[in-house]
Amino acid sequence: MKEMFDRTYVLTFAQKLLAIDSPSGYTHHAIAFLKKEAQTLGYKTALNEKGNLLIYVSGASSEKTIGLSAHTDTLGLMVRSIKESGTLALTTLGGPILPTLDGEYCRIITRSNKVYSGTILSTSPATHVYPDAASVPRDLEHLEVRIDEMVKNKEAVKKLGIANGDIVAIDPKTTVTENGFIKSRFLDDKISVSVLFGVLQYLRKHDVKPNYDCIIMISTYEEVGHGASCMPKEVSELLAVDMGCIGLDLDCTEYDVSICAKDSSGPYDYAMTSHLVKLAQKHDLHYALDIYPFYGSDVSAALRGGNDLRGALIGPGVHASHGMERTHYEALEQTMQLVLAYLCEA
């Protein structure tokens, strides 16, 4: 694989972003990090009212404005209630695969900015005590948080400042292997944000201008369905960069850029999708053209929000989405090359 982009920059950036807790509704720290990095690279930025970051890239022509998006909000949990035992009942932010959470470390973030560590456990966590320890369902009624504090009842938890509605952020457990695999929760979609910043860094380093003015939106509510529902009016087409699906009868692998023809929200723009396929073929990229059966994107949200634009969806192949995810740097490189071609070639 011929690498055009700065592998060290992209992987270091990804690790920094993945380390910032940002479940839907609690993304301000991640957005602040991204805003600072974009400005360091020399780009103008702004925030819309819902907290999405807008990054402005000047093109060779202002005849039209191209939009790109990726989302920095992730799956997570919230305190539903405090149990009399001193453990925490939960509600989901987005759709994590709940059985994968049993035994995971987490952080409880209060509204006064106190942070406590804990562990997500089954309500029957010990095989020496509970006969159903292996068989009890791993669902919201049977998962709870054990707080790493000396609390034995509800009142003691309240005295810590923990309350209903507090964020419970799951440890991403990020690992980058020597042979190029990136293993972590929340590659969906922080790895695509890293892809877009890899492209931004390339444009600045090599003094390359896109054909047209661009606005890159980093959205903050994609996992709950309305991330890019409000786009700047000047954007006439939107390319969402989000994880590519792997499994069932899909062709995508962890080494490919995936191009989505249709997901649960319907087909993507035929002309844009066809153009992306032609660009992938022209540059001999490892790509897959697939249908995502249980998926929606920022383009889906933008169209449902009434924005008058056309849209397409691509992204690096990610295995085990909404669980313990994995991709490979090769997929990132393929995706960055396709994004660059989309921006700079007719």
CA angle 236-294-106, nearest 5°?
A: 100
Pairing mode of beta strands 212-219, 61-71: parallel
Marked catalytic residue, from 222, 223, 325, 333: 222
CA distances from 45 to 38, 52, 211 (A): 7, 10, 20
CA distances from 170 to 145, 157, 233, 242, 243 (A): 11, 19, 36, 20, 19
Using a 10 angstrom Cβ sphere, with 0-12 exposed, 13-18 middle and 19 or more buried, the burial of residue 109 is buried
Selection from 221, 225, 324 nearest residue 265 by Cα: 225
First to last CA, the chain: 24
Under a CB-based contact definition with an 8 Å cutoff, are residues 18 and 34 in contact? no
| 222 counts as catalytic | yes
| Rounded distance between C-alpha atoms, residue 24 and residue 36, angstroms | 20
| Rounded distance between C-alpha atoms, residue 166 and residue 189, angstroms | 23
Cross-strand partners of 240 = 69, 313
| Rounded distance between C-alpha atoms, residue 68 and residue 55, angstroms | 10
* Residues designated as active site: 222
